[in-house]
Structure 1
């Protein structure tokens, strides 16, 4: 074999080897791309499945609460109404002033309990959520908390009307209730500040902050089931959830539902 033929052979070999290397690189690149697309698809399916699972869990919780609400109204409510009628009859038939005063006190307690029961039943059956604006629901929650004078709740918003369906109103209300209850129970706070705002970027943004003792976020046990419930509710509607807390510096919750592009 002459030098020219040897040179041509070497060149052809190098060309084929170069094509082989390029082909392998292209194959590896396409393989990685297909793998990435597959993993993304699996992640999307898992996210959808997770949301469906959370939504189902919420539906079960809501159905259970509605059933409890109906039982309270139809069963215990009727019994309390009957007891109220009996006390009114005793009050009418009794002629001893001191006894009448005691019966009247019992009657007032029963009637107040009946009103509280009806209010609780209405809340559990979600009629309240369907019928009222979200700002009204949150303001009522703040007012109810302020009555007990254990912690002052201040609520502000930057809109007159926000058109939300039941699911979004339910999520916002339940998260607000959960935060208030946790703050009063665990943080020994004096104030809770709630803001619900809307903007060009977000359909709504809920911010809640207390001035309590806070907690160590590195300690998972300190977060409890309340935080899990709030996160799950936010995930159901695709809202961004963040919570920050430091010892002696309070706790801040921020949930944003961005507008679709």
Structure 2
């Protein structure tokens, strides 16, 4: 009986030993895999954080540069043009011939239009405009300026009940819109531009579309940083900075549609 019990104990110990030999490597491998996965996740988080901080710095530098340009336009160019108007006023009083008076009058009107456009442009370049008035008034101001150039028909449509997205988010969205419009004016040869704003319950959507000549999105996004079209990558990165997405749809001869979507703001 004791011999049987001893054999059972030996078998039990051997079984436990074999289980340990079998399970221990598996447990070690699993633990190592978990640590490796955690390492990869931490590495990816650090990479994303670095990219977000780098992009944030780029946006801040751009805002400072554009604000300086806007101030220079308003303070220097605007003042010089005002002096030109004053001189044209004096010239109009001195000119006797009606035909020349009309020429001076038309020139003065043109310069006054330029002054108005410069002031509007300086406001849209200044991020304080977004801070003071919000995204929608800033978009309206930008499209009115574009409309006055008579190069393209620009239209803004809004849907949903307006809610603030936060100062930083609205500045980035305005810059993305300005970059998209600039691309449409420079490259698309479009006749119509439509900006659509949708305040959804769970997200905010901003869509910029034109009826221009379009392009291959795959080819454009594959270009180097110093080549034309590489700015599309900035749109993707900036949307990611806001925790959102950017979808660009285009094809040669089919116009361009840029849809930017960001989450509903948690803190308003």
Do they fold alike, i.e. is TM over 0.5? Answer: yes
- Cα gap change, 1:69 to 1:48, in 2 (>3 Å): same
1:229 aligns with 2:230: no
Give the superposition deviation at 1:9.
Answer: 6.5
- Cα gap change, 1:230 to 1:199, in 2 (>3 Å): same
> In structure 1, what is the equivalent of residue 66 of structure 2?
65
The separation in 1 between residues aligned to 2:86 and 2:14, in whole angstroms, is 105
Give the count of matched residue pairs.
Answer: 259
Tell me if the contact between 1:217 and 1:223 (Cα under 8 Å) persists in the aligned partners: no
The separation in 2 between residues aligned to 1:76 and 1:190, in whole angstroms, is 29
Give the superposition deviation at 1:92.
Answer: 3.1
Measured on the aligned residues, the alpha-carbon RMSD in Å equals: 3.1
Give the superposition deviation at 1:44.
Answer: 1.1
> In structure 1, what is the equivalent of residue 138 of structure 2?
137
The separation in 2 between residues aligned to 1:181 and 1:215, in whole angstroms, is 15
Tell me if the contact between 2:210 and 2:256 (Cα under 8 Å) persists in the aligned partners: yes
Tell me the TM-score normalized by structure 1: 0.81
Higher mean alpha-carbon deviation, 94-103 vs 120-129, is at 94-103
The separation in 2 between residues aligned to 1:37 and 1:209, in whole angstroms, is 42
Give the superposition deviation at 1:22.
Answer: 0.9
Unaligned runs of 5+ in 2: none
Unaligned runs of 5+ in 1: none
1:90 aligns with 2:95: no
> In structure 2, what is the equivalent of residue 36 of structure 1?
37
1:167 aligns with 2:168: yes
- Cα gap change, 1:209 to 1:41, in 2 (>3 Å): same
> In structure 2, what is the equivalent of residue 216 of structure 1?
216
- Cα gap change, 1:143 to 1:242, in 2 (>3 Å): same
